[in-house]
Amino acid sequence: MTSYTRSGPLVEGEWVRLTDPKGRRHNVQLVPGKEFSTKKGQLRHDDMLGQPEGIVIHSSMDHPYQVFRPLLFEYVVSMPRGAAIIYPKDAAQIIVQADIYPGARVVEAGAGSGALTSYLLRAIGPTGTLGSYELRDEFADNVLRNVHEVSGTDLPGWTLTVGDLREVVTETEIDRLILDMVDPWSCIPLAAERLTPGGIVCAYVATTTQLSRFVETVREHGGFTEPRAWETLEREWHLEGLAVRPQHSMNGHTAFLVTARRMAPGHHSMGTSRRPAPGAYGPDYTGPRPFGHDEA
């Protein structure tokens, strides 16, 4: 098991999160006899080993640090990475909006550095299955290391495959399909074939061009509900006495999320009856148009 899923005294090999009074944070893996260097002096690992989390230790320059096991979202933002990670604010939205539940059969394309994989494994629990697909060997190696650090090595419900999901997928019945890739619209035929009725496809895309093409491909297929797209912005607040205000910086745009549900066989989406904005579909547009749109 990993540092942030354990209880009891801190032991060798666990990760701890050190925080000083100014909010500076460090993730450290405990090794007997070792020291961690900061601008405020040395911190002895032996002062933490065998102790419960939630203690305060002091550096060689008498600077205090709180010691806790890192929570999952605290660990993933600093985990070794090859590809960019899906940040906690987006991972939380995927887990909730794509309704990832214990026992679900989930497939993800584009495992990246293993951040979302770690969240998905927690959400599906011991009775669910997760098939992760990654195109690049070096990224897959990193995913394997990070996931084992987070979730241990006893993961019978998890498989990691190096290859193109569209060519090597083995799962025949999928409840949730998560697409973190450059061209997720190319997986819509696969989603239509393998998703169970009521199943959800969720795409994570960075640009408006990708967002538009994915949405219009889903609409054109007709076998999914009207797509829903959104982004999540996160802003912390400064809290000091009566000086309560938003922080000047925030976690702004990282990506767009899009979800749609699979219709039952033989049934097609109702589309949308709302009238599009003027100019939404110009003379050069060749994709599908919403229900009721005058094509003349």
Q: Each residue of 152-182: pLDDT tens digit?
A: 889 999 999 999 999 999 999 999 999 999 9
- pLDDT averaged over every residue in the chain: 90
- Are 124 and 104 spatial neighbours (Cβ–Cβ below 8 Å)? yes
> DSSP assignment, residue 234?
B
> Residue 2's pLDDT is what?
47
164 marked as part of a ligand binding site? yes
Distance, in Å, from the CA atom of 54 to the CA atom of 35, rounded to the nearest integer, reads 19
> DSSP assignment, residue 16?
E
> Which residues does residue 198 pair with via DSSP β-bridges, in sequence order?
none
Q: Is the pLDDT of residue 294 over 80?
A: no
50 marked as part of a ligand binding site? no
Helix (H, G, I), strand (E, B) or coil at 94: helix
pLDDT in tens, 232-259: 999 999 999 999 999 998 888 999 999 9
180 marked as part of a ligand binding site? yes
pTM confidence score: 0.85
110 marked as part of a ligand binding site? no
134 marked as part of a ligand binding site? yes
114: Cα within 13 Å, side-chain hemisphere:
27
pLDDT in tens, 55-79: 999 999 999 999 999 999 988 888 8
**75-261 has which fold?**
Rossmann fold (3.40.50)
115 marked as part of a ligand binding site? yes
In the chain, residues under CATH classification 3.40.50.150 are 75-261
In the chain, residues under CATH classification 3.10.330.20 are 3-70
Please, what is the angle between helix 88-97 and helix 115-124, to 10°? 30
Distance, in Å, from the CA atom of 131 to the CA atom of 109, rounded to the nearest integer, reads 8
23 marked as part of a ligand binding site? no
CATH of domain 3-70: 3.10.330.20
